[in-house]
A and B are shown apart, each in its own frame.
Chain A
Amino acid sequence: MSTSRPLLEVHNLTVRFPMHEVVAVDRLSFQIARGERVALVGGSGSGKSATALALIGLSDAAAVVEASSRIVFDGHELPALEDESSDTLRTLRGNRIAMIFQDPAAALNPSMSVRDQIAETALVHGVSPAVALRDADVMLARVGLHSALGHAYAHELSGGQCQRAMIAMALLLRPALIIADEPTSSLDVIAQAQVLTVLRDLQRETGAALLLITHDLGVVATTCTRVLVMHAGQLVEDAPVERLFRAPEHPVSVALIRAVPRLAVGR
């Protein structure tokens, strides 16, 4: 199961926006074990997206990460902000930490076929072109995009298909951690179910850890084993999924649970 040392340790992460006098993330501390599926939930403005961006050093230009923040990934200290001269983050990103964003069409290059883009991810990290293309095809099949769709361009695919392509791209290099920021918020329920299934299956196969950021507890229930609830930049509850749904402690958690639209018919 989990090894002794956590994969990701976050200590006292604090992110401010000095111009707006806002503290987006306030002394956030948590851990993620290898292979664990953790959800980071909260309403809009809770600081969850700011947290995700800070973790991979892609914070907004106006954001300031406090010096007291520490992020330790696989035993290595991470610089909290992008440092142009540092190779550490660049190599980690895509290689050991993969990111999936909310709007897949915006993240995909409109002038390249999906297959080529996925292959390019591998190329950038030093794989030969032939191997890269073959791996891309394998991943595309894995996420349910058969070969014809793989040759398509982003604008020819539906939202759900684009997102699955993004997952293929993200998992090509077998990252140790996947950070997915609202991956299904812009999709309808059927596409959402497909994307989450693919994400969960691939995550299990590759043994990657997953940090899933969302406001939708329905997504959490189907995908994750542990939940971190954020409110106004702070962590208000850290609980296993079952426990959170059955007996949430913090008022914010209670409100979130109550707000989830659910079907009354037992299934």
Chain B
Amino acid sequence: MTTPLLTVRDLAVRYPARGARPATQAIDGITFEIAAGETLALVGGSGCGKSTVARAALRLLEPDAGHIVFAGIDIGTLAAGPLRALRRRMQLVMQDASTALTPWMTVGALVAEPLEIHNIAVGAAADHAVRLLIDDVGLSAEFLERLPHELSGGQRQRVAIARALASGPELLVLDEAVSALDVVVQHEILTLLERLQRDRGLACLFITHNLALVQRMASRVAVMQGGRLVETASTVEFFLGPAHPYSRELLDAVPSYPQPIIP
């Protein structure tokens, strides 16, 4: 039995009281594991705390309780320097690429940055690596000099993915990474992600509110409601018949279509 790549146990985050508003528990008691190369889908409606889980698990925000162990290392107790270095191995792609890419940096500079930060490659070697990455996400070299606002939504997301892959991570957290795209582009990006995952053996935390995507992308599902996990199951089991009422509600909400004759 191999140790999981990421283990999260009893993760909790509280939002402190602000003025008249009392303190609220954003997430509580979150426990899950992701094995190397596996995709776990984290689903729930808006406001259930999925993004908070993603950020806390990567320690981009400080959790109030819980343990996070990545590749055998306890992230919670790491000092700032080693934590930054560890980020090379776990990356994040956010929902809105139009705000996730620094507006004044070119595509080339954005994708090269992880290489600089972690001293992976410099100069000509870095340029070459950037070209390979851009190509791998389906963009041509002419995009290297462009600024984010000159790209379409799908193109920006490809750049965000290329940047996330630059340091060669073992875990990729996709926080509603395709939710803001129209269906055709969404399909293209998901196809891209499937291929990249296969080629690089990436483990993935796939966060979404759309169960239809889950069936395609994940082997296991964890359902969140009101900051807590209400169900965890393998995808196959889940879609045969989810246990929790909220899971059933999510499943019922997915539109059904006339079955197509086209393949």
Contact = CB atoms under 8 A, between A and B. Distances in A.
B239 interface: yes
Interface stretch (A58-66, A168-176, A255-263): A255-263
Interface in B206-263: 209-213, 215-216, 239-240, 249-262
DSSP class of B's interface residues: helix, strand, loop or mixed? helix
Nearest to B217: A261
B213 A247 contact: no
Contacts of B65: none
A32 interface: no
Contacts of A248: 262
Contacts of B188: 259
- List 5 tightest A-B contacts by C-beta distance, closest first: A259-B187, A188-B209, A218-B255, A261-B212, A215-B182
B260 A189 contact: no
Given A188-B209, A189-B210, A193-B252, A263 B239 contact: yes
A167 interface: no
A189 B209 contact: yes
Interface residues on B, range: 35 or more
DSSP class of A's interface residues: helix, strand, loop or mixed? helix
Interface residues on A, range: 35 or more
Interface stretch (A13-21, A132-140, A238-246): A238-246
Contacts of B254: 189, 218, 263
Contact of B45 (A190, A242, A254, A258): A190
Given A216-B183, A222-B255, A254-B262, 13 more contacts: A43-B184, A44-B153, A158-B46, A189-B45, A189-B211, A190-B45, A221-B257, A245-B258, A245-B259, A261-B210, A262-B212, A263-B239, A265-B239
A257 B258 CA distance: 11
Contacts of B250: 189-190
Contacts of A100: none
